[in-house]
Amino acid sequence: MTALLAEVFSASGPLAATVPGYRPRSQQLELAERIAAAMAANAVLVAEAGTGTGKTYAYLVPALLSGGKVIVSTGTKNLQDQLFARDIPTIRKALGLPVRVALLKGRANYLCHHHLARSLADGRFLTREDAAWAQRIARFAQQTRSGDKAECVDVPENATVWPMVTSTRDNCLGQDCPQHKECFVLAARREALAADLVVVNHHLFFADVMLRDEGTAELLPACNTVIFDEAHQLPEVASLFFGDSVSTAQLLELGRDVQSEALAAARDCLDLPRLCARLEKDVRDLRLTLPLEPARHALPQLAARPRFAEALATTIAAVEALAALLETQAQRSEGLDNCWRRAGSLLQRLQAWQAGSNDDFVRWAETYTHALQLNATPLAIAGIMQKQMSGHPRAWIFTSATLAVQNDFGHYCAEMGLVDASSARWESPFDYPRQALLYVPRNLPEPNAPDHAEAVVSAAWPVLRESGGRAFFLCTSLRAMRRVHELLAGRLAREGLELPLLLQGELGKNELLERFRRLGNAILIGSQSFWEGVDVRGEALSLVVIDKLPFAPPDDPVLSARLERLRSEGRNGFLEYQLPRTVINVKQGAGRLIRDESDRGVLMICDPRLIAKTYGKRIWRSLPPMRRTRELADAVAFFTPAAGASGA
């Protein structure tokens, strides 16, 4: 395999002949060789490959050549679509491989014939726009082969009509569905089972892993290799899936579905609508026991609100009453039978959360504008991961541009339970000392100071003006993001500068990025979702400003519980857990700047802790080897024509 890989990645090989602008990189070939060796030995490999290494091709080539069944799991749907639509077809064509490939997304991405028909028949759409979109979706349903809503270009992917015409695991009728044979989800799963290489995302992968405990997993039992790209996201996703949650939205949806099914099959059961109305009132009252603004609430905070426990008990009683009545009506239709099973499952989860008998889980709640979610999250996932990775021998590959802290993978491997993993790291091939500058301004206030956002905007303003926009402003909170937007809008107006200002949330993420690229001189202000998985090449992005080091809030319920557990074990939670996660997040944000050999730019981090605190060194030493400065003049000079010509 080594000789074959050397040929494939060589200057005269099939990739060079097929891919425009392809150039051999020693890092890419070495990474491909390590992955191929791990696949052959059914081993565990943790690999960090800096931006520009070409890690996608480095794992896809050995995967397509292996002859076994491979699952590739990504952190984002964007990368999932890119692999399936662009990268895999390119490699398959270059190598002339007759490999069967499938794309599998989560259930909510596929149109459901049953729910579409029921919604059109009921006509209970929230707006006229939803009703019009439903008609377009109905036309799409007659033409599509995949049923993937991403292909329905006439209807926005975030349109409020989609939940009414797709299914969830809760409300899917399964084999009892009248349109079971035409089901798009089942068709996609059949293709995945027959394929040699399946592209999924982390959420779907762990959903399948959870089904393994019930004996119904489909993907994992058959595969020889699992490759995780964007593997730095796995601890968070795994925590979500190995825990449990139940939301008021699920309870309200159950009530709505029961009413629809009762209209169709049990009109004479007058108690069903009454109990649905009672459930809806009790659920809404439960939500109102907590503040309206979105937030995370630890168990002690919930206990301090006496109405919360009372409202939760009332809601549980309402679900119990509805479940008992549904049991007497379940045989009248598949829909009512499904609702009875859902009510039983939701009741069980609510009661388990209320009892909270497992000390290995932290219970907490998250409020959204209209909903409340009760969560039970494992304090550690290492043991659970080890259990899931045991059994059938297969290779496990974990790769990302950000997994190590100063060349050390200890934190990641410990958190993920990868005790026997080998690890390796490859630097980016980019010339960072020539292409980029790290600027940490002097005299900034502490990040928790009330005037921190004002100071950050004042410090960034001369650099923004000199760069002519072309900037990402990455904030660590939504509040800071909105304040920075307000301050920059005021500055631009006062100085008469016509630089477009884009704000996360005003448009969809992809739309905002497309507009940013097209405008060429915009300032995009974003929070968490723009720190990673975003690729803007060329001059449109030449400055990245980070407002402060992205430490998770110390009052976050899951973080504080995990830190308390580490303290009780005599360990240092800050150094072992908080700091490594922050390093990885900073590396992700910094990675937005240089995406190509010809890119140039300034990374500006507006947090004095990077210099003043001893742990700051661990953070900036983990960043790419950019030139470093604390002088405003250096940052401004980076954008002058003379500096550009000399490559300073």
Model confidence at 291, pLDDT cuts 50, 70, 90, reads very high
Across the range 441-452, mean pLDDT stands at: 94
405 exposure class (CB count in 10 Å sphere: 0-12, 13-18, 19+)? buried
pLDDT given at position 507: 83
Give the pLDDT band of residue 134 (cuts 50, 70, 90). Answer: very high
pLDDT tens column, 498-552: 999 999 988 888 889 999 999 999 999 999 889 988 889 999 999 999 999 999 8
126: left (phi over 0), alpha (psi -120 to 50) or beta: alpha
Tell me what the mean pLDDT of segment 379-408 comes to. Answer: 92
* pLDDT at residue 213, as a whole number: 59
User: Do 242-378 and 432-646 agree at the fold level?
Assistant: no
Q: Are 235 and 400 in contact (CB under 8 A)?
A: no
Residue 436: closest CA among 642, 636, 599, 616: 599
Does the pLDDT of residue 600 top 90, yes or no?
yes
pLDDT at 562 over 80: yes
Cα distance between residue 445 and residue 443, in whole Å: 7
Residues 324-338 as b or e (16 or more Cβ within 10 Å = b): ebbeebbebbbbbbb
| CA separation for the pair 532, 586 (Å, rounded) | 10
Q: Across residues 603-627, what is the average pLDDT?
A: 95
Architecture of the domain whose range is 432-646: 3-Layer(aba) Sandwich (3.40)
User: What pLDDT is stored for residue 510 in this prediction?
Assistant: 84
- Asked if 52 and 428 touch (Cβ cutoff 8 Å), the reply is yes
pLDDT at 210: 74
For residue 388, is it left (φ>0), alpha (ψ between -120 and 50) or beta?
alpha
Rounded to an integer, the average pLDDT of 196-203 is 94
**What number does CATH give the domain 2-99+196-224+394-426?**
3.40.50.300
What is the predicted pLDDT for the residue at 545?
97
- Tell me: pLDDT of 52 over 60: yes
Q: From 1.20.1440, 3.30.310, 2.60.98, 3.40.50, which CATH number describes the 242-378 domain? A: 1.20.1440
Q: What is the pLDDT of residues 167-184, one digit of tens each?
A: 888 888 888 888 888 999
Q: What's the whole-model pTM score? A: 0.90
Identify the band that residue 128 occupies on the pLDDT scale cut at 50, 70 and 90. confident
For residue 315, pLDDT beyond 90: yes
Domain ranges of the chain: 2-99+196-224+394-426, 107-186, 242-378, 432-646
Does the pLDDT at position 127 exceed 90?
Answer: no
**Please, what is the average pLDDT of the chain?**
92
Give the residue-averaged pLDDT of 221-241.
92
For residues 479 and 527, what is the distance between their CA atoms, to the nearest angstrom? 9
Residue 312: predicted pLDDT: 97
Over pLDDT 90: what percentage of the chain?
Answer: 76
